[in-house]
Amino acid sequence: YLIKTSPVHFDMNNHGSTGIFITPQGIQENKPYVIINGAIENDNNSPLPVIVRHRITSAEGTLITEEQQKLNLKPLSKTSFKLSSKILRNIQLWSPDEPNLYYVTSLLYDEKNQLLDEIRNPLGFRYFSIHKDKGFSLNGKHCFIKGMGRSQDYDHMGYAIPDEIQINDVRMMKEMGVNFLRSHYPQDPVVWNECDKLGIMMTGRIPLFDKIAYTRAFAENTKQMMREMILQNYNHPCVIMWEYMNEIFGGMDWYWPKPQDPEKMKKEKEEVYKLAVELEKMTRSLDPYRLTEQVFHTDPNPQWYKEAGLTSVSMINGWNIYFGWYHGNLQLVGKAIDEFHSYNPNLPYIISEYGAGSDNRIHTETPTVFDFSQEYMDMFHKVYLSEVAKRPWISGMCIWTWCDFQVDSRRDVMPHINNKGMVTADRKPKDVYYLYKARWNPSPMIYIAGKNWTERKAITQGEKTITKKVTVYSNLKEIELLINGTSLGKKKITDYEAVYEVPFREGQNLLLARDINSDLSDAALITYDFQPLMLDASCRELCINVGQSRTFFFDPLTRNQWLPDQTYRQGSWGHVNGNYYRVWNEMKAWQGIREGVDNNILNTSIDPVFQTFLVGVTEYRIDVPAGEYVVELYFTEPFSRERRLKPEEQTGADVNGDRIFNVLINQVPVLKNLNLAGQYGEQYAVIEKFETKTTTGGIVINLLPVKGEPVLSGIRIMKK
Amino acid sequence: YLIKTSPVHFDMNNHGSTGIFITPQGIQENKPYVIINGAIENDNNSPLPVIVRHRITSAEGTLITEEQQKLNLKPLSKTSFKLSSKILRNIQLWSPDEPNLYYVTSLLYDEKNQLLDEIRNPLGFRYFSIHKDKGFSLNGKHCFIKGMGRSQDYDHMGYAIPDEIQINDVRMMKEMGVNFLRSHYPQDPVVWNECDKLGIMMTGRIPLFDKIAYTRAFAENTKQMMREMILQNYNHPCVIMWEYMNEIFGGMDWYWPKPQDPEKMKKEKEEVYKLAVELEKMTRSLDPYRLTEQVFHTDPNPQWYKEAGLTSVSMINGWNIYFGWYHGNLQLVGKAIDEFHSYNPNLPYIISEYGAGSDNRIHTETPTVFDFSQEYMDMFHKVYLSEVAKRPWISGMCIWTWCDFQVDSRRDVMPHINNKGMVTADRKPKDVYYLYKARWNPSPMIYIAGKNWTERKAITQGEKTITKKVTVYSNLKEIELLINGTSLGKKKITDYEAVYEVPFREGQNLLLARDINSDLSDAALITYDFQPLMLDASCRELCINVGQSRTFFFDPLTRNQWLPDQTYRQGSWGHVNGNYYRVWNEMKAWQGIREGVDNNILNTSIDPVFQTFLVGVTEYRIDVPAGEYVVELYFTEPFSRERRLKPEEQTGADVNGDRIFNVLINQVPVLKNLNLAGQYGEQYAVIEKFETKTTTGGIVINLLPVKGEPVLSGIRIMKK
């Protein structure tokens, strides 16, 4: 932007602010008025008498009042002004439910009534407070903070996104029922504006996290960011809070995974505390009308925040809690909330982050921690909602996060993506979006969960239908579910959902969920492919995600349906031996079954197929009728050499980190001395395709070790 | 592929073929047997007695018969063999309805019964003929050719696509009811195999089109391609036809747009004829069991094909007909079919290509030629289906084309993409896919057309609902349509569709279409945004696709809904003056309203907004209530300088090709001497954003010419 002004204009040199600061007062007493502070710059070499006029209007343009002031500007100088308005009549309060917005248009005139400058600022009237036991209240009423964290990037676009996407995000959050926005940095200006308009409260935050430098320059830079953010956004009624530090001990690379250095730790705590106190003091002095918050984390050690004194600095303590994801399991969530609360029960408490990742390609009927299924994500969020509901002293909860967003260092199911979004990186809502909408947005709604799992495969044995659970999210009293026109009965909604046992047929199924009392409804088209236990003429192929015990993976590109692995039994298929590689087996704190590795597998887009694998598998059997088949074997060396050299990692490599094996299909050698790391490099996808013939039926794949133990990530079999 | 063989093996040096050629015989006489021709190479320096054994099995592996032959191989030589099987019992014929497939496994043994080589070839038993009046018949029954053209590329992947995508394509075509595949080059081997398995007939074709070189080398290269294709694919039962030339006069760059050079034309005709005769002769001699086809086109002059003698060379004449798209209008389709037929009524006739483009972002209630709406595409295809149905002598019709595919030179709504696909480049079916499925696949089906137009905007004046036409495609007798649970009545299906007047409400609507007699149904979720005539607090914004008279454009990225332009009337919005730029206004042969330019507009993904524009617009009015607004103006210089210098192009540029204008919003100058070509370059998207305030209501945009006439492509207005 290039801004052209008259030589006499409102202050342009105050940290990028509009130069005008509006403070609504007297709201609680029902005698609302505003205090307007500001400054005018006179770049002329001569003095000038001016008139400053402030017009307060409603969002629709109705004039509420006009106040004015005469000032005598000195040459080449800045002149401050301050003005209190009269008490305003018929003011409507601003709240998420009724975001009544006003504007203050400040006009600067010379003696001849010539307009010199004009600035419009938003204005909203609301009062709020927060209490350690009673939580947050807005305009005198309790208001639970339904919060959302947000990164402002978009699929394949990075941060350079059009305003429309920013605005659409706020609109979609509003629709979901969110009333509070948080992020890791000050959001784009259009986001603050849209939050004013739609009634989403906000905590403004600077990007200070993970660690600090122990220098004055760092501290000053931090304060400068904070000052700019506050002054630029002071007038937004959406802002109720300022926040500075997030997970500030989280990035101590000198600590992880090495043991603690007590001296260094002491110094770290002192320095962080000092900076926090400084930031807190400055924030309160710049804006005494907002709350302040700091945000803490479980890693590496939550006690440090208390020991450092940080839990007594801000007005609110926020805790980022990832039990059931990065730590522990979902049974520990309540305990964790309470433990962190005990660090300072005298301050209001917010769960400032919590979240679990999901990849729309992954689904399961048996969700488990870190499986990246949509189903586990929903289970995770329900537990947090339920634990919070039991604790009325919690002021609010802030979902991490709005959208799947880009993090270069991540190596999960979609490398470089953090999948904890309510919506995908291209803003397609996941089921969890509607899980919250049912709870947080009172508008009547029905949503059939799993409706974006449109293409499914089920192993069957000649049944005409197969029965699967379907959950409907709703905030209605009672609904009815129909499959292909047949009612499955009415059900009362309990805890915002109704669960049905649904008989699906092969091919397309139409699910229809409808309200008993209105014309509200939802529909889902779900196609089932019935896979017989043995590959037969009716099925195109069998894709086995070897080493993955529970999840279904659908590849939208090839339309391959990858089934979870199983132990061999006659008349079916599975591994005869070998172990699911489970990175969390040995780490007691991380209960769950995180299978496979979190590496970016190169040369493929179906990382989850390659990331999970069996170690030490020497025989895999697939019972098929006699005939000719195409067999594809999916391999990768999942581990770095460094890791392969550590016996405790149980990578199956030999003492030299080598892994070499031969492969035979029905006794015919097809790969000799396969050395994945040597021939292709580590974490590189390799697909080997063979043809085989069986006259007696059955395909046996043998992987015979030469050095270390064989690994196998996937098998795809088709009739030739 | 690297193929390892024994020194004694089936012929590996015959044009990439399997070295074995299987000809089913006696089918029509119900005495089926096969003739097997082949050769064996002995790379040893010594003679060898061998046994060749051919096992004929069903697809399930049941042995039908085994034939064998003893041969004495000379050293370092190739030995041919030929064998007729006994008459085979219980043979099931191959057809699209029942693609009964057999395999011939040829085994080569030495004297000690040691297996030396093994090759499997597909085999199918069917007989067919084609007749100028009676059309195509298969296994003694009339069989209308329901054909599909295909390019084998995929969204953002080019031609290097996995087998799965190739196979999925064939499966999706089969589901649609297609029984015949055509393309511009021999398809990937997996496609031929899948066509064998699923029962899709095929014409094999070499990439000889647009023009030839008059050289012997060119002719020989062409013949070599043809020979390789035939020999490699001879055994596929799916193949019923071979094809070589396509639109062979279409690429005469010396002709277009210059007038004809009679001498050059004479030579061209002679050379093309000579090559055609040569190819035809070779094809028939290599494979006397298949049909042959050549394909002709309307451009530049369909008579040339006749004059050159080409319409009497092959066994079938194919015509690519694009009336209603590139030429003329839909009323001329029947006439064109008949005219081309008259060039040689003694040969069987196929419509080898016909098609219209559509972009899923574009929809309209008033479809017109070249508007790239899904709705026009459907209208186009219905006309062709109806005209063909009236002419029983037409053997078949071949849709152009399967998927939206990549053509570098294209500059349509999606630059570099030919949008004539039944499915998008990433294989999402368009409505037209189901239009055909209703007609071509006898399985019962229902489909609500327009269901992928999920986000719609309608201009309303306070109505609670707005009534719009909804068409349901079906092959059932009678259906019922419900909106939000309320029945709109039962309707008989006529011509594979039922049309309803549907009252949509604002927000989400659920359409449910169901069979009267079964549990078959389809559902569509369609969201309507009601846009009042004037922008008010209820609407986020107004996006006007200036210079576009009929189509709605939805940008999935920003979710902007671009409405068509209109003439200004009070209380609403529109242009006060200016002309829709219509490239086809002056070209009588191309009736229709092709608006705008077909240029790739750089710096944007919403080309259709920029490609259409008003020329000579000096005033555009948008009636809005008093208030503050953000106004975005979308500009591009749509024409090259070369074109701007031609007065007959009516580009609105001045005699020097210049176009410069000033822009004012509510009398405030906002852009001075805007020179789009000079400042930004031609066909480059420019968005200028301004804020404006109106105290009396209304926004007036003035574009005041300095040189030439102003152009304007789009306006987007929001409340500030």
Residue A589: predicted pLDDT: 42
Nearest CA in chain A to B172: A559
> Average pLDDT of A138-143?
98
Please provide the average confidence, as pLDDT, over all residues in chain A.
94
Per-residue confidence band for A236, with pLDDT thresholds at 50, 70 and 90: very high
Q: Token digits for B533?
A: 């005539």
Tokens of A318: 């926020």
- A541: buried, middle or exposed (CB in 10 Å: 19+, 13-18, 0-12)? middle
CB B665 within 8 A of CB B631: yes
Residue A257: the pLDDT is: 59
| Interface contact flag, A162 B557, Cβ < 8 Å | yes
Can you tell me the ipTM of this complex? 0.91
H/E segment holding residue B192: helix B189-198
Give the sign of the dihedral formed by CA B633, CA B634, CA B639, CA B641. Answer: positive
- Span A500-529, average pLDDT: 97
Side chain identity, residue A441: N
Pairwise CA distance, residues B295 & B247, whole Å: 6
- Which of A162, A525, A540 faces B523 most closely, judged by CB atoms? A525
In tens, the pLDDT along B657-673 reads 999 999 999 999 999 99
Q: Which of the four pLDDT bands, split at 50, 70 and 90, describes residue A586?
A: very low
* Through-space distance between the first and last CA atoms of chain A, rounded to whole angstroms: 63
A54, A85 contact by CB (below 8 A): yes
Interface touch B61/A627, C-beta < 8 Å: yes
Q: Which residues of A touch B560 (CB under 8 A)?
A: 164
Q: Which CATH superfamily is domain B455-530 in?
A: Immunoglobulins (2.60.40.10)
Question: What band does B262 get if pLDDT is binned at 50, 70 and 90?
Answer: confident
Report whether pLDDT(B537) > 70: no
Q: Which residues of B240-254 are buried (b: 16+ CB within 10 A; e: fewer)?
A: bbbbbbbbbbbebee
Q: How many CB atoms lie within 10 A of CB A385?
A: 17
The predicted-structure confidence for B351-405, as pLDDT tens digits, reads as follows 999 999 999 999 999 998 899 999 999 999 999 999 999 999 999 999 999 999 9
Q: Cα–Cα distance between B680 and B676 in angstroms, integer? A: 5
Chain length of chain A? 720
Architecture of domain B8-123: Sandwich (2.60)
Nearest of B166, B170, B261, B268 to residue B211 by alpha carbon:
B268
Residue of A62, A510, A628 to mutate, interface with B, max B Cβ within 10 Å:
A510
Q: Determine what percent of chain A is predicted with pLDDT higher than 70.
A: 97
Count A/B contacts: CB-CB distance under 8 Å: 70
Distance (Å, rounded) from C-alpha A329 to C-alpha A322? 9
Residue B437, amino acid: K
Residues of B in contact with A512 (CB under 8 A): 512, 523
Instruction: Scan for tokens 């999960």, then name that residue.
Output: A412
> Does the distance separating the beta carbons of A485 and B519 come in below 8 Å?
yes
Q: Compute and round to an integer the Cα radius of gyration of chain A.
A: 30
User: Which is more confidently placed, B720 or A239?
Assistant: A239
Average pLDDT over residues A680-704: 95
Determine the CATH number of domain A128-443.
Answer: 3.20.20.80
Domain boundaries, chain B: 8-123, 135-443, 455-530, 534-719
Closest CA of chain A from B61, distance in Å: 6
Q: What is the mean pLDDT of chain B?
A: 94
Q: For A462-497, write each residue's pLDDT tens digit.
A: 899 999 999 999 999 999 999 999 999 999 999 999
CA–CA distance, B608 with B555 (Å, rounded to integer): 10
From A61, A168, A484, residue closest to B559, measured CB to CB? A168
Once rounded to an integer, what is the mean pLDDT over residues A225-231? 98
- pLDDT tens column, A14-31: 999 999 999 999 999 999
The amino acid at residue A417 is I
Residues of chain A whose beta carbon is less than 8 angstroms from a beta carbon of chain B are: 59-61, 120, 162, 164-165, 167-168, 171, 484-486, 510, 512, 514, 519-523, 525, 537, 540, 557-560, 625-628, 720
Task: Express as a percent the part of chain A with pLDDT over 90.
Answer: 87
Chain A residues close to B484, C-beta within 8 Å? 519-521
How near does any CA of chain A get to the CA of B490, in Å? 16
Whether the domain at B135-443 and the domain at B534-719 fall into the same CATH topology: no
The CATH number of the structural domain formed by B135-443 is 3.20.20.80
> A535-719: which CATH topology?
Jelly Rolls (2.60.120)
Read out DSSP for A381-392? Answer: HHHHHHHHHT-T
Cis bond upstream, residue A705 (ω within 30): no
Cα–Cα nearest to A503, from A547, A542, A466: A466
CB contact under 8 A, B61 and A626: yes
What is the SS3 assignment for B685?
A: coil
Q: What is the mean pLDDT of residues A714-720?
A: 93
Two tokens, residue A658: 């080598």
Kindly tell me if the per-residue pLDDT of A256 is higher than 70. no
State the average pLDDT over residues A642-668. 96
Residue of A nearest to B560 (CA): A164
Please tell me the distance from the alpha carbon of residue B420 to that of residue B355, in angstroms, as a whole number: 6
Task: Give the model confidence (pLDDT) of B403-414 as tens digits.
Answer: 999 999 898 999
Sign of CA dihedral B168, B170, B174, B176: positive
A chain contacts of residue B626, beta-carbon cutoff 8 Å: 61
Chain B residues whose CB is inside 8 A of the A520 CB are 484
Question: Residue B532: its pLDDT value, please?
Answer: 85
- Region A620-641 average pLDDT: 95
Q: Which residue type, as a one-letter code, is found at position A142? A: H
In whole angstroms, give the CA distance from residue B328 to residue B351: 17
Task: Give the nearest chain B residue to A193 (CA atoms).
Answer: B720
Angstroms from B625 CA to nearest CA on chain A: 9
Nearest partner of B322 among B302, B301, B305, B298, judged by Cα: B298
Which of these, A628, A626, A579, A609, lies nearest to A715 by C-alpha position?
Answer: A609
Q: Is it the case that residue B264 has pLDDT exceeding 90?
A: no
Q: What is the mean pLDDT of residues B244-268?
A: 80
Q: Output the pLDDT for position B616.
A: 97
Tens of pLDDT, residue by residue over B95-113, are 999 999 999 999 999 999 9
Question: pLDDT confidence of B534, banded at 50, 70, 90?
Answer: confident
Residue A211 to chain B, least CA–CA distance (Å): 36
Residue type, A99: P
Query: Could you tell me if B100 and B59 are in contact, meaning their C-beta atoms sit under 8 angstroms apart?
Result: yes
Interface test with B, best of A115, A481, A521, A624 (most B CBs within 10 A): A521
- Fold classification of B534-719 is Jelly Rolls (2.60.120)
Per-residue confidence (pLDDT) for residue A203, from 0 to 100: 97
Per-residue model confidence (pLDDT) at position B257: 59
pLDDT-derived band at B258, boundaries 50, 70, 90: low
Flag whether pLDDT at A254 surpasses 70: no
What pLDDT score does A218 carry? 96
Identify the closest residue of chain A to B166 by CA–CA distance.
A558
pLDDT in tens, B46-57: 999 999 999 999
Nearest Cβ partner of A512 from B120, B162, B512? B512
Q: How many angstroms away from the CA of B376 is the closest CA of chain A?
A: 27
A contacts of B503 (beta carbons < 8 Å): none
Residue B578 contacts residue B595 (beta carbons within 8 Å): no
At residue B168, the 3 state secondary structure works out as helix
pLDDT digits (tens, 9 = 90+) for B418-463: 999 999 999 999 999 999 999 999 999 999 999 999 999 998 988 9
Q: Are B332 and B324 in contact (CB under 8 A)?
A: yes
Binned at pLDDT 50, 70 and 90, residue B33 comes out as very high
Nearest CA in chain B to A487: B519
Quick one: tokens of B716? 């987007």
Q: Nearest Cβ partner of B168 from A168, A519, A559?
A: A559
Taking residues A549-560, report their average pLDDT: 94
B2 pLDDT tier (thresholds 50, 70, 90): confident
